[in-house]
């Protein structure tokens, strides 16, 4: 059950990451910030600690380029990895086929619209119906091309309630945000709205007691009775 709460390691080094490796946490998200500094060393680091990696590089390019990158990524057997849905159906189909060949248990997630984007910004990008229109269109691409899941904000979960895609949700806060995330929710709200996984970064990374904050998130989600 705890694997449903993923900790985002938005830090600069593996030494920085060590502070946030808890016995109870299983899955950690590694994005460009840590990967740019440490590269594939992160897999050995996490392997030795019994943790799984959600490699969140948000690949977005022509099919052959994404396929070439994934051939290397899949050799490390990540738990999850991401591709921008806007890359199109052929890119995602080829990614799925390669996954089935090289790393059959890896979950392929499609990224729709970043949680830092506002409705007006999304309209300027050409989705005239705003965020709802954009998410629905991109989710359709993911479903048709065989992706396993979708990364979306908490606010789009109800739009996707009939979708069979796994729903991985960043933008999780226990309190009102004071940063660049615009579409957020509490752990409880996200799971009640249909999230399969939530991704939590700043709430834990900036806490005075990160492990305690992790337990508080589990408690808010309804996974744990926590009083100390």
Task: Dump pLDDT digits (tens) for 81-122.
Answer: 999 998 999 999 999 999 999 999 999 999 987 767 777 887
Measured in degrees and rounded to the nearest 5, phi and psi for residue 165 equal: -65, 140
Domain residue ranges in the chain = 2-221
- The pLDDT tens digits of the residues spanning 58-72 come to 999 999 999 999 999
Catalytic option among 58, 77, 136, 182: 58
- The pLDDT-based confidence of 228 (bands split at 50, 70, 90) is very low
Cα–Cα nearest to 54, from 183, 200, 172: 200
pTM: 0.90
Beta pairing class for 80-84 and 52-59:
parallel
Cα–Cα nearest to 88, from 118, 114, 59, 117: 59
In the predicted structure, residue 178 carries a pLDDT above the cut 60: no
DSSP category for residue 26: -
The C-alpha atoms of residue 101 and residue 140 are separated, in whole angstroms, by 24
**What CATH number is given for 2-221 in this structure?**
3.20.20.70
Average pLDDT of the residues in 213-218: 95
How many C-beta atoms surround the C-beta of residue 41 within 10 A? Answer: 12
Q: What integer pLDDT is reported at residue 1 of this predicted model? A: 54
- The pLDDT-based confidence of 176 (bands split at 50, 70, 90) is low
Distance between alpha carbon 7 and the CA centroid of its chain, in Å? Answer: 10
* Percent of the chain at pLDDT exceeding 90: 74
- The pLDDT tens digits of the residues spanning 27-69 come to 999 999 999 999 999 999 999 999 999 999 999 999 999 999 9
Q: Is 72 a catalytic residue?
A: no
Beta pairing class for 197-200 and 80-84:
unpaired
């Amino acid at each position: 059950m705890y694997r449903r709460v993923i900790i985002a390691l938005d830090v600069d080094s593996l030494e920085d990451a060590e502070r946030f490796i808890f016995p109870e946490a299983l899955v950690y998200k590694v994005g460009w910030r840590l990967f740019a500094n440490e590269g594939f060393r992160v897999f050995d680091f996490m392997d030795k600690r019994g943790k799984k990696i959600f490699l969140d590089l948000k690949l977005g390019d022509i099919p052959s380029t994404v396929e070439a990158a994934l051939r290397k990524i899949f050799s490390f057997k990540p738990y999850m990895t991401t591709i921008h849905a806007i890359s199109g159906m052929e890119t995602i189909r080829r990614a799925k086929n390669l996954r089935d060949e090289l790393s059959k248990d890896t979950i392929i997630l499609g990224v729709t619209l970043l949680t830092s984007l506002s409705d007006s910004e999304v309209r300027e990008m050409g989705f005239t119906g705003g965020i709802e229109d954009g998410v629905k269109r991109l989710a359709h691409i993911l479903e048709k091309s065989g992706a396993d899941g979708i990364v979306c904000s908490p606010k789009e979960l109800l739009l996707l309630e009939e979708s069979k895609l796994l729903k991985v949700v960043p933008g999780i806060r226990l309190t009102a945000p004071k940063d660049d995330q615009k579409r957020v929710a509490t752990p409880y709200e996200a799971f009640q709205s249909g999230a399969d996984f939530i991704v939590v970064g700043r709430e834990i990374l900036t806490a005075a007691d990160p492990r305690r904050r992790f337990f508080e998130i589990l408690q808010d989600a309804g996974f744990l009775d926590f009083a100390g």
